Structure 1
Amino acid sequence: MGTVGIHDEIRLYLRARVALIVLVTVEEQRALDVLDQVRKDRDPSSDLVTWDIADGLESASGRQLPKAATPPDALTKIKELAQKEPRRRDLYVLKDFHAFWERDPAVRRRLRNLAHKLVFTGSSLIVTTPVRDIPVELGDDAVVVEMPLPEADALRRELDQLIDSTKGVKSTLTPAGRSRLAQAALGLTAAQARRAFAKAIVRDEVLDDRDIEAVLAEKKAVIRENEALEFYSAEESPDDLGGLDVLKEWLRLRERAFGDAAREFRLPAPKGIALIGIPGTGKSLTAKMIGGLWRLPLLRLDVGALFGSLVGESEERVRRALRLAETVSPCVLWIDEVEKALSSGGHDGGTSQRVFGTVLTWMQEKTAPVFVVATANDVSALPPETLRRGRFDEVFFLDLPTEEERREIITVHLRKRGRKPEMFDVYQLALACDGFVGAELEQVVVDAMYAAFAEERDITTDDIARAAARTVPLSRSQREVIEDLRAWLREGRAQSASFAEADRAAEHQVPVLEV
């Protein structure tokens, strides 16, 4: 929902005679601009009256208003003003009023009484607050409206105004370039976007395509402050990921699914995938690869960082993180080790279940093009409803790599470190590394390089083979856990990421591990 949507929603509540609206936003000035426009459209003769603890009551039309230094005074004066001229359709805005209703029950009671009185007048009361939580006493009288972050069109107008008002700036951006720069700022507030644009301008007094990366860097810093979200530079490609041919083909078929051509074809945007499997098999690398393959922003949701110590704080964090992901969309949202959301074992007063339920409900109902990549190592910790269709387009199982995949993975890591794979016996190494996951294969190559570096020579096949011989892979150290995971695949609960059919995976690559 953009600015037009928020105008319409507030206007609708005012027509319905809702006397108390709680507008949740950190963008106070933008909220006041929206409310002033709603007020003018509704009744040009009306007034927008604001109150805060510093300046008291102020009128947008310049009316003389009584002094009101405290919250009780403000509520009393607003009641008197509204009842004195009940036909007026004024909007009364209380700034940061959550700070007063949190600690004073008398303020909560006065506010509720005022809301009841305003129902019989033409005026309405609006509280602007950066947090969603409202007192339970007001739950039946107030409606909560969350103001979305500005859309690309609004950010484009901010950019155009800044360029026009800044003397001496040279802009080589075409109209399409300005739109790309505004698109890069999605996820920022209007004030944050203005600061990012201004910083790009004053750096060299030239605005060009290079400043898109500068704005993206500013956005990464802002998103990082969210605590639960991290902006990743997705530079990985399918060539950086050995094996997993079925998964790669599935992703390639949907590479253009977020473009205009797909919308014209009436093709819905893909919702997401769940990656279940053995640790170290490439689940995290796959998430990064999707962002690079589809050329979409990649956001990582840190489930552990969602939990706060205050009542309601965890739920607010997850809602804020999901709203930000929708604003940045189309994007890839990577939820790593999703089972961590339930790791408390029910000893946190139900917070983990509520947070997890919020994420699941959002995944089911979201309409924004946010592609969710959820990874999990312990599928037994997930409730059955987690992986059902509607939340995910497909559930993939990442197993121990086959011999062919081990050759690919070893080749990838040799090439990544500047070595020519043809100079090594990758066939012998793949056999020597039977039962190794991708992360272990990478570490074997790295360990061999350390040994060769210490002797001041280049790495050889024998170095890698010796490193492999010293390694105890997960397939041996956690044999029982891995067998339980593979049994889950044999039951047909997921699609193999490596083979076209799950029964082929069972036949070729899922033998029962010997104890």
Structure 2
Amino acid sequence: MARQGSSFQDELNLYFKARFSLINVVTVEEERVLKEIADACSSRGRPVYSWDIADGFVPLTEATGEVGRPARDPVTALEIIVKLEQDAVFVLKDFHRMWERNPQVVRKLKNVVQTLKRTRKNIIVTSSRNYIPEELADQVYVIDFEPPDFEGMKQILDTFTRIPNVRIDLTDLGREKLARSALGLTANQAQRVFSKAIVTKGSLDEQDIDLVTQEKKSIIRASGALEFFAATETIEQVGGLDVLKQWLRSRENCFSQQAADYGLLPPKGLLLVGIPGTGKSLTAKVVSGLWRQPLIRLDMGAVFGSLVGQSEENIRRALRLAETVSPCVLWIDEVEKGIADTGGDSGTGSRVFGTLLSWMEDKQKPVFVVCTANNISRIPPEFSRAGRFDAIFFLDLPTRRERREIFGVQLLKRRPVIDQFDLDALAEASSGYVGSEIEQAVVAAMVRAFNDGAREFNTADILRVITPPVEIVPLSSSQKDNIERLRQWLIEGRARSASFPEVNSALQEQVRVPGFAAAPDLELDD
């Protein structure tokens, strides 16, 4: 992975000295990377040309002469590179499009690269996505060209201070905050959002941080695989799960500079396992609200594409985008659906899974990953191994006390005072129900009361919904085997109880999965 600014130039010159004949720079910032390459070559007095299918060869520095020969097709361009007697650098723009669909170009480039090893010529391919044909995999060195770092972003911001009639209402601290808020944007994206602020209100100030955030949201929406969530849920909206909530509270300040100075690394992530409706997705939203960080949901289904290499590139692009808004919470819901390899996709699922694992292992940006899973039998063992996550929590069927809390939370969402409800009776009658089903029961009771003259609903209405014959059959009645498998993880020490600090306490308080009778179908008179 490439470093920033002049460091990139130093790194590039190092590769030139080592005679790396073929380098692929992956970036959407063509203009910025061309300037960096030109500056690197100018500092060493080396001629540098760019080539594309529209304009052929174009010198990138004043000291570089003209090629003098037209070359509008890739094979001719490669032949000219070999024949030129200059020890030059050749930047081939969008050349990945040529080798994607033309085996002749792949073969010719491979021949040329082998020839250039005996010279001081270098070829740099700039491409917007990382796809290398198998035939070239051993010949090319890939560099991911990163967006501007903090110093680079400050330089972009400083260019606006030199524009006449532009008011900059920024203290040194405000300038730092605005530059940091824009980290992860490309140079063009940052310039656009700063220009938009100036055009909108005639100045740049700290309030424009919100505008930068909106720009990042737009980028994420355009990605297709990522969705931006507003952090509206609070930890008080979670009934039960005391151990999990305490774990989250204890790490609330671990992203601070004070924690870094103390030697603490930012938390990596959580794996939450349990049947649907037990609060896994709600927990992901609560983490975002509690830690005051943006929440990004990764849709694994949207990652997979039909073209060769597209799925792997989609997951890499999505993960890079998540890093642009860091620190943030990355929520991967029902992760087992995206990482299980069915064997019918030519190994694409395995490669996507491998890319995700590598990123989780190597990521440097403060992206806290929350993965939820309903079916642990589809999770590969290496995904949940020790060290991959900070903790793995099992969310069991809520206990009687937890169901009482959940009823309280759901009723307070809908009525300011709930003293008239018998929470103990509701908790007792709802054994086997999960949080989402309790919410559904409250809504069903409200519908019942509304249809009965729009009267106020009460405890009896809710009990009619959840006592046999029930209107809502809880999922636990059809998930007995899965619940037992999940509980085995708890017994084996592969997961912690989200509700109890000790395994024995969790096992003693486990809810037995009862049988439920659905409400009979009624025959209506004509």
Q: TM-score, normalised by structure 2?
A: 0.90
**1:493 and 2:491 matched:** no
Q: SS of the residue aligned with 2:509?
A: helix
Which residue identity lines up with residue 376 of structure 1 in the other structure? A
Match in the other structure for 1:57:
57
How many angstroms apart in 1 are the aligned matches of 2:11 and 2:465? 64
Change (3 A) 1:406 1:163: farther
For residue 9 of structure 1, report the CA deviation from its aligned partner: 3.3
How many angstroms apart in 2 are the aligned matches of 1:465 and 1:210? 51
**1:223 and 2:220 matched:** yes
Change (3 A) 1:123 1:482: same
Alignment of 1:143-182 (within 5 A): 143-165=141-163, 167-182=164-179
Match in the other structure for 1:375:
372
For residue 510 of structure 1, report the CA deviation from its aligned partner: 4.5
Q: Give the conservation status (yes or no) of the 8 Å contact 1:397–1:496.
A: yes
Alignment of 1:85-484 (within 5 A): 85=86, 88=87, 90-165=88-163, 167-343=164-340, 345-454=342-451, 455-469=453-467, 470-484=471-485
For residue 411 of structure 1, report the CA deviation from its aligned partner: 1.8
Q: Give the conservation status (yes or no) of the 8 Å contact 1:483–1:512.
A: no
Q: Give the conservation status (yes or no) of the 8 Å contact 2:331–2:370.
A: yes
Deviations 1:313-364, CA, capped at 9 Å, x for gaps: 1111112222233343322221111110245522212211221122123223
For residue 273 of structure 1, report the CA deviation from its aligned partner: 1.3
Q: SS of the residue aligned with 2:233?
A: coil
Deviations 1:129-188, CA, capped at 9 Å, x for gaps: 1121122222222111111222333233223323542x5444433333333333333332
Q: Give the conservation status (yes or no) of the 8 Å contact 1:233–1:297.
A: yes
Gaps of 5+ in 1: none
For residue 126 of structure 1, report the CA deviation from its aligned partner: 0.5
Match of 1:33 among 20, 32, 35: 35
Match in the other structure for 2:12:
10
For residue 39 of structure 1, report the CA deviation from its aligned partner: 1.6
Match in the other structure for 2:77:
74
For residue 488 of structure 1, report the CA deviation from its aligned partner: 3.3
Which residue identity lines up with residue 272 of structure 2 in the other structure? L
Deviations 1:90-140, CA, capped at 9 Å, x for gaps: 321111112222233332233223323333333311111112112222222
Which residue identity lines up with residue 243 of structure 2 in the other structure? V
More off after superposition, 325-334 vs 301-310 = 325-334
For residue 514 of structure 1, report the CA deviation from its aligned partner: 6.7
More off after superposition, 474-483 vs 306-315 = 474-483
Q: Give the conservation status (yes or no) of the 8 Å contact 1:2–1:149.
A: no
More off after superposition, 304-313 vs 56-65 = 56-65
Change (3 A) 1:259 1:2: farther
Q: Give the conservation status (yes or no) of the 8 Å contact 1:93–1:128.
A: yes
Change (3 A) 1:15 1:507: same
How many angstroms apart in 2 are the aligned matches of 1:304 and 1:407? 36
Change (3 A) 1:370 1:480: same
Match in the other structure for 2:522:
none
Q: Give the conservation status (yes or no) of the 8 Å contact 1:173–1:209.
A: yes
How many angstroms apart in 2 are the aligned matches of 1:130 and 1:18? 21
For residue 478 of structure 1, report the CA deviation from its aligned partner: 3.0
Q: SS of the residue aligned with 2:315?
A: helix
Change (3 A) 1:436 1:155: same
Q: Give the conservation status (yes or no) of the 8 Å contact 1:479–1:513.
A: no
How many angstroms apart in 2 are the aligned matches of 1:268 and 1:482? 34
Q: Give the conservation status (yes or no) of the 8 Å contact 2:398–2:511.
A: no
Gaps of 5+ in 2: 517-526
Q: Give the conservation status (yes or no) of the 8 Å contact 1:92–1:125.
A: yes
How many angstroms apart in 2 are the aligned matches of 1:105 and 1:512? 61
Change (3 A) 1:502 1:232: same
For residue 192 of structure 1, report the CA deviation from its aligned partner: 1.9
Match in the other structure for 2:25:
23
Q: SS of the residue aligned with 1:187?
A: coil
How many angstroms apart in 2 are the aligned matches of 1:111 and 1:417? 67
CA RMSD of aligned residues (A): 2.3
Change (3 A) 1:181 1:115: same
How many angstroms apart in 2 are the aligned matches of 1:371 and 1:494? 19
How many angstroms apart in 2 are the aligned matches of 1:342 and 1:372? 15
Q: Give the conservation status (yes or no) of the 8 Å contact 2:303–2:315.
A: yes
Deviations 1:264-287, CA, capped at 9 Å, x for gaps: 111222211110112101101111
How many angstroms apart in 2 are the aligned matches of 1:295 and 1:21? 41
For residue 20 of structure 1, report the CA deviation from its aligned partner: 1.0
How many angstroms apart in 1 are the aligned matches of 2:512 and 2:249? 30
Identity across aligned pairs (percent)? Answer: 51
Q: Give the conservation status (yes or no) of the 8 Å contact 1:483–1:513.
A: no
How many angstroms apart in 1 are the aligned matches of 2:54 and 2:308? 29
Q: Give the conservation status (yes or no) of the 8 Å contact 1:302–1:335.
A: yes
For residue 28 of structure 1, report the CA deviation from its aligned partner: 0.5
Which residue identity lines up with residue 410 of structure 2 in the other structure? H
How many angstroms apart in 2 are the aligned matches of 1:409 and 1:512? 18
Q: SS of the residue aligned with 1:150?
A: coil
Q: SS of the residue aligned with 2:130?
A: coil
Change (3 A) 1:216 1:384: same
Change (3 A) 1:412 1:510: closer
Q: How many residues align?
A: 507
Change (3 A) 1:157 1:466: farther
Q: Give the conservation status (yes or no) of the 8 Å contact 1:200–1:215.
A: no
More off after superposition, 505-514 vs 20-29 = 505-514
Q: Give the conservation status (yes or no) of the 8 Å contact 1:2–1:150.
A: no
